[in-house]
Amino acid sequence: MKTILHALSAGNIEVENSRRLADLKQLDATRIFLKKMDTKVYNGEHVVPIRLYFPTENAMSAGIEEGSTFPVLLFFHGGGWVTESVENYDRVCSRMAQATAHIVVSVEYRLAPEHRFPVPLEDCYAATRALYTNQLIINTDPEEITIVGDSAGGNLAAAVCLLARDRGEFMPRRQILIYPALGNCYTEKSPFRSVQENGSDYLLTAVKMEDYLNLYQSSPSDRNNPYFAPIVEENLKNLPETLILTAEYDPLRDEGEAYGKKLREAGNQVEIHRISGAFHGFFALGFKFLHVQESFGYINQFLNASYEKILHLSINDEKIK
């Protein structure tokens, strides 16, 4: 197994080949057929495609009917800001809708290197603002929206929450970061042990992460921008309640956990769970995999506990009135 992993981990990122390999996921013989709807939002004059996944027929009706709302997961896919798409993540989002009983809103942000930082982030921010200000076809309650992202999507989720806090147009209540890419260095100078321990033989390598950063950045100075690398943000106060899931054999493991600890030290509510025995990217595997089941256990526990807090606060507010 180690020999196979080592062979699969070799080489740098070649954009077109990587994209063709990622697109093979669209040839999915076991695709989950779920009620879906394609729509769009605007980032300036650019159209940002959006796909909605409804866990049930009732959820579709409840999400669209006037006067009703349904809980939502706003999802940003991974792929190093360079590869992957809403279509490639179709199975992941369908399964997420079913496993959490949420409407999943998946965002087709533009990719680097054709569209470098901050374009992908601004696409995600525009989609988030549209959802939080009820500009999509579904009716939304900001209290029932959770921002989710895996890998580079976790980076975008964290950065969107920072932007939302700083711009003051809306404020997310919850974020779920799945093995997020939050750092700005994957060379031997990295302060994180997991980059050295897991950076060569576990599919995602330190070399590939450096390639992804180089393709995403508009200039080297971007690496010191907290919207590019959230781990460098010094002020982490007043951010959403956060769940962070990391993988044991992942070069990104330690930065995700360090970010969670920094959030907690800044006064935010944070849960951090390391999935033992897992590699980077495991969340895209089928639900039969124990690592995926474990992850959804943490996700549902986090969501349910958060909603119970909101309900408790609402009941107390009514009593005070």
Catalytic residues: 151, 250, 280
- What is the C-alpha separation between 15 and 112, in angstroms, rounded? 9
**Phi, psi dihedrals of residue 50, rounded to the nearest 5°:** -130, 140
Instruction: Write the CB contacts of 29 (distance below 8 Å, at least 6 apart in sequence).
Output: none
Residue 74 three-state SS: strand
- What is the C-alpha separation between 263 and 261, in angstroms, rounded? 5
Extract the tokens encoding 276: 């033992």
DSSP 224: G
- What is the C-alpha separation between 159 and 40, in angstroms, rounded? 21
Instruction: Write the CB contacts of 312 (distance below 8 Å, at least 6 apart in sequence).
Output: none
139 near 68, Cβ under 8 Å?
yes
